[in-house]
Amino acid sequence: MLRASALVIGAALGATALAHDAAERRSLDAKESLAVSQAAIGRQVSDRSFVDRSGRTVKLSQYLGKPVVVSLIYTGCTDICPTTTQTLARAVREAEATLGTGKFAVLTIGFDTERDTPQAMRDYARRQRISFPGWEFLSTDHATLDALASELGFSYVASVKGFDHLAQATLLDAGGRVYRQVYGDTFEPPFFVGPLVQLVTGSPKPAETLGDWIEKVRLLCTIYDPAAGRYRVDTTIIVEFAVGVFLTLATLAVLVREWRRSRRAARVDSSQKPSLKRG
């Protein structure tokens, strides 16, 4: 009897060890994950339902109409995900300083669907000290998360340590199409702000007002200064633009003046010619 019990316990321990080893071996292939992620660029993301930190049901379409940044994390992570969120927060601050507030939205979505509840997402946002008005933290169910991850090109697998996943932020255009992927738990702001500037300045609009053009020039004259670690206005571009406008106007003025002079000369020649009279 004791021998049979020992065999059962030994078999159970052996099965546990095999499961542990199998879980340890589950990991993502970096090259394959990157290829899957890049293949998602240009893909339309479906309108799916989520739950925000207050427990309200929301849909992706509520945030569209402007660029949307999607970052998938799991709240049980104590290393990579918090670092990713803090790096994203710094980039968001730079983007708002460049573009202004309200020009884009940020969605952090928990992909550990059993544990990333609205309460867990609320606690995660509080721990990360995220208070941007356009940044929401969402929960969802497993089926929705899998479908969303597939559309975004986001790869993840469960492991004994939590999850093995691609550190990725996805930029959607105003219509919900994947525009750019930003990789790594740390990245330089230009990799994030640059594509957002392109989306904001390149979005189709009705007839543009003078204010729209002034804003566009301001954005196009903004460059990243690695020494200062932030975006600044490139005065060289402004000077070149002003010189170009001045030369264009000066050329037009010369052409108009010559045209008027030739018209006056033509009228004088015409008045000095003898008139023919018939008698």
Specify whether the backbone of 8 is left (phi greater than 0), alpha (psi in -120 to 50) or beta.
alpha
pLDDT of residue 7: 39
Is 100 inside any structural domain?
Answer: yes
Least confident residue range of 8-22, 28-42, 76-90: 8-22
For the whole prediction, is pTM greater than 0.95?
no
Whether residues 238 and 155 share a domain: the answer is: no
Q: DSSP 3-state assignment of 224?
A: strand
Query: Residue 249 — φ and ψ, nearest 5°?
Result: -65, -40
Whether residues 241 and 166 share a domain: the answer is: no
pLDDT of residue 168: 92
Whether residues 151 and 258 share a domain: the answer is: no
Q: Which of 204, 236, 271 corresponds to the end of one domain?
A: 204
Is 128 inside any structural domain?
Answer: yes
Whether residues 55 and 88 share a domain: the answer is: yes
Whether residues 39 and 142 share a domain: the answer is: yes
Is 153 inside any structural domain?
Answer: yes
Whether residues 195 and 228 share a domain: the answer is: no
Whether residues 65 and 174 share a domain: the answer is: yes
pLDDT of residue 158: 84
Q: Which of 170, 204, 238 corresponds to the end of one domain?
A: 204
Is 21 inside any structural domain?
Answer: no
The sign one gets for the Cα dihedral 211, 97, 178, 75 is: negative
What are the pLDDT digits (tens) for 153-185?
999 888 777 888 888 999 999 999 999 999 988
Strands (E), the chain: 49-51, 57-59, 68-73, 105-110, 135-138, 156-159, 162-165, 168-172, 178-183, 222-225, 230-233
Which two tokens mark 197? 């500037």
Q: How many CB atoms lie within 10 A of CB 86?
A: 15
pLDDT band at 135 (very low <50, low <70, confident <90, very high): very high
Q: Strand 105-110 to strand 68-73: parallel, antiparallel, or no bridges (unpaired)?
A: parallel
Is 92 inside any structural domain?
Answer: yes
Output the average pLDDT for the chain.
78
Is 3 inside any structural domain?
Answer: no
- Cα separation, 12 vs 34, in Å, equals 38
Number of domains observed in the structure of the chain: 2
Whether residues 43 and 170 share a domain: the answer is: yes
Q: Quick one: what percent of the chain has pLDDT higher than 70?
A: 68
Is 6 inside any structural domain?
Answer: no
Whether residues 149 and 181 share a domain: the answer is: yes
Q: Tell me the CATH number at 127.
A: 3.40.30.10
Whether residues 82 and 185 share a domain: the answer is: yes
Range of the domain at 250: 221-263
What are the pLDDT digits (tens) for 76-129?
998 889 999 999 999 999 999 989 889 999 999 999 999 999 999 999 999 999
Q: Given a cut of 80, is residue 207 above it in pLDDT? A: no
Is 210 inside any structural domain?
Answer: no
Which two tokens mark 253? 């003025």
Whether residues 248 and 156 share a domain: the answer is: no
Q: Which of 153, 169, 204 corresponds to the end of one domain?
A: 204
pLDDT of residue 255: 77
Whether residues 135 and 229 share a domain: the answer is: no
